[in-house]
């Protein structure tokens, strides 16, 4: 467990220094916590995609705390700030089922949707690998039939992960490929079905309709499926994740978010923003392009990795 957190911490170094690091720097350079410092912190939080409401919430609490505790030492003030951010993240860690739980249904069907290039196919590769490592019999369905290259790409991931794939000719109807995939999984006793879909803009009505058709074709076979529909969001451009989620959810009932490319983004605040503004939990965190660069997201582990130094600081300060 310790090594897991350490590893995560390492992967998050860049994200962390671009975010909390900047705040620390500001406070250090100014040497005091006055209104100007608070404004600079506000700026940094906003630039890191923390979102207007969440930033306000953080600053309101921060102001109140330093006033109440009469904190003037910037180092101590920072510890308070981190504690506030930590608590906000943990408070939002509501009881959502573990993504890699023992599936209640067989096959357990998971669809991945999202705008273009967010990391759907890559995430499916990683998820397939993890389920396969857990001893599950996994089938990937190549539901992105728009480009031959997309079919090739998911086929390579299936091979890497050592799992089976159902694929069709380019330009086949995605809903019928997916129908075939799910029925094949039912016939052949698969545990998990992972469905790749083509990237689509959430504002394109016809593409959203197609997603609804995909959803209905799955339900024809398994009324309870898909058991999970994951919206894949790119952390580096995640700002409009809120409207993406609203639109996708109208066509296919979303159950969670996979936040990808969280490694090396300077916009680490997005995770606070999503937590605050979406009813959906972040269930997966992509932290690289490799097959193992996936975190089964739990706020409590994330917080340990992201704020652990701060914890130590606090102990030192006490
Ligand atoms: N650094 C980093 N890169 C990632 C991560 N996830 C995906 N990528 C990269 O992002 C790019 C797009 O990933 P894909 O998996 O093809 O994205 P997609 O959503 O399937 O794209 P479309 O099918 O075209 O909509 C690739 O270069 C991936 O290697 C991640 O967690 N970290
Ligand atoms: Mg793809």
What is the CATH classification number for the domain harbouring 10?
1.20.120.140
Closest ligand relative to 157 C-alpha: 1
Task: Flag whether 98 is in a domain.
Answer: no
Q: Is there a cis peptide before residue 259, judged by omega within 30 degrees of 0?
A: no
CA of 156 to the centre of ligand 2 (A): 12
* Ligand 2 ion: residues within 5 Å (CB): 120-121
Task: Flag whether 101 is in a domain.
Answer: no
User: What atom in ligand 1 is closest to the CA of residue 199?
Assistant: 25
pLDDT digits (tens, 9 = 90+) for 56-106: 999 999 999 999 999 888 888 888 988 898 888 877 566 678 899 988 899
Q: What is the DSSP letter of 107?
A: S
User: Which residue lies with its CA nearest to atom 7 of ligand 1?
Assistant: 119
Q: Can you give the CATH number for the domain in which 228 is found?
A: 3.40.50.300
CA of 77 to the centre of ligand 1 (A): 38
Q: What range defines the domain where residue 201 resides?
A: 108-297
Task: Flag whether 224 is in a domain.
Answer: yes
User: What atom in ligand 1 is closest to the CA of residue 294?
Assistant: 31
Rounded to whole angstroms, the Cα distance separating 131 from 52 reads 37
Same domain, 136 and 51: no
Same domain, 145 and 171: yes
Rounded to whole angstroms, the Cα distance separating 173 from 42 reads 48
Rounded to whole angstroms, the Cα distance separating 171 from 148 reads 8
What number of other Cβ atoms are within 10 A of residue 128's Cβ?
Answer: 27
Same domain, 117 and 140: yes
Task: Flag whether 225 is in a domain.
Answer: yes
Number of domains the chain is built from: 2
Task: Please answer whether residues 257 and 280 qualify as being in contact, where contact means their C-beta atoms are separated by less than 8 angstroms.
Answer: yes
Same domain, 238 and 161: yes
Same domain, 50 and 198: no
CA of 234 to the centre of ligand 1 (A): 8
Q: How high is the mean pLDDT of the chain? A: 89
pLDDT digits (tens, 9 = 90+) for 123-178: 999 999 999 999 999 999 999 999 999 999 999 999 999 999 999 999 999 999 99
pLDDT at 239: 67
In this prediction the pTM is: 0.88
Assigned token pair, 185:
């999984």
Task: Flag whether 102 is in a domain.
Answer: no
* Sheet with 294-296, edge to edge strand ranges: 164-166, 138-142, 192-196, 108-113, 228-234, 256-260, 282-286, 294-296
CA angle 141, 142, 146 (to 5 degrees): 150
Q: Which residues pair with 165 in a beta bridge?
A: 140
pLDDT digits (tens, 9 = 90+) for 254-265: 999 999 998 878
Task: Determine the number of helices (DSSP H) and then strands (DSSP E) in the chain.
Answer: 13, 8
Task: Flag whether 28 is in a domain.
Answer: yes
Same domain, 272 and 184: yes
């Amino acid at each position: 467990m310790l090594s897991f957190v350490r590893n995560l911490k390492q992967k998050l170094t860049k994200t962390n220094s671009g975010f909390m690091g900047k705040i620390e720097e500001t406070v250090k350079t100014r040497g005091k916590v006055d209104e100007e410092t608070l404004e600079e912190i506000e700026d940094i939080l906003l630039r890191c995609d923390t979102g207007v409401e969440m930033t306000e919430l953080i600053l309101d609490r921060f102001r109140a705390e330093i006033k109440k505790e009469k904190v003037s030492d910037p180092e101590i003030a920072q510890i308070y700030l981190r504690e506030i951010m930590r608590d906000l993240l943990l408070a939002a860690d509501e009881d959502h089922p573990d993504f890699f739980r023992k599936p209640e249904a067989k096959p357990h069907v998971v669809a991945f949707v999202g705008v273009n290039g967010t990391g759907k196919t890559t995430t499916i590769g990683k998820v397939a690998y993890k389920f396969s490592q857990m001893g599950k019999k996994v089938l990937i369905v190549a539901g992105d039939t728009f480009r031959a290259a997309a079919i090739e790409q998911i086929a390579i991931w299936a091979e890497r992960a050592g799992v089976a794939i159902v694929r069709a000719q380019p330009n086949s109807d995605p809903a019928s490929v997916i129908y075939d995939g799910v029925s094949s999984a039912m016939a052949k006793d698969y545990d998990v079905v992972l469905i790749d879909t083509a990237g689509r803009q959430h504002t394109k009505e016809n593409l959203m309709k197609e997603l609804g058709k995909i959803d209905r074709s799955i339900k024809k076979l398994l009324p309870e499926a898909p058991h999970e529909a994951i919206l894949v969001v790119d952390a580096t451009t995640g700002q409009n994740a809120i409207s993406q989620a609203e639109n996708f959810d109208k066509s296919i009932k979303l159950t969670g978010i996979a936040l990808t490319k969280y490694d090396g983004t300077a916009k680490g605040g997005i995770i606070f923003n999503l937590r605050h503004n979406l009813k959906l939990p972040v269930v997966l965190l992509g932290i690289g392009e490799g097959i193992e660069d996936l975190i089964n997201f739990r706020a409590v582990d994330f917080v340990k990795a992201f704020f652990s130094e701060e914890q130590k600081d606090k102990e030192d300060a006490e």
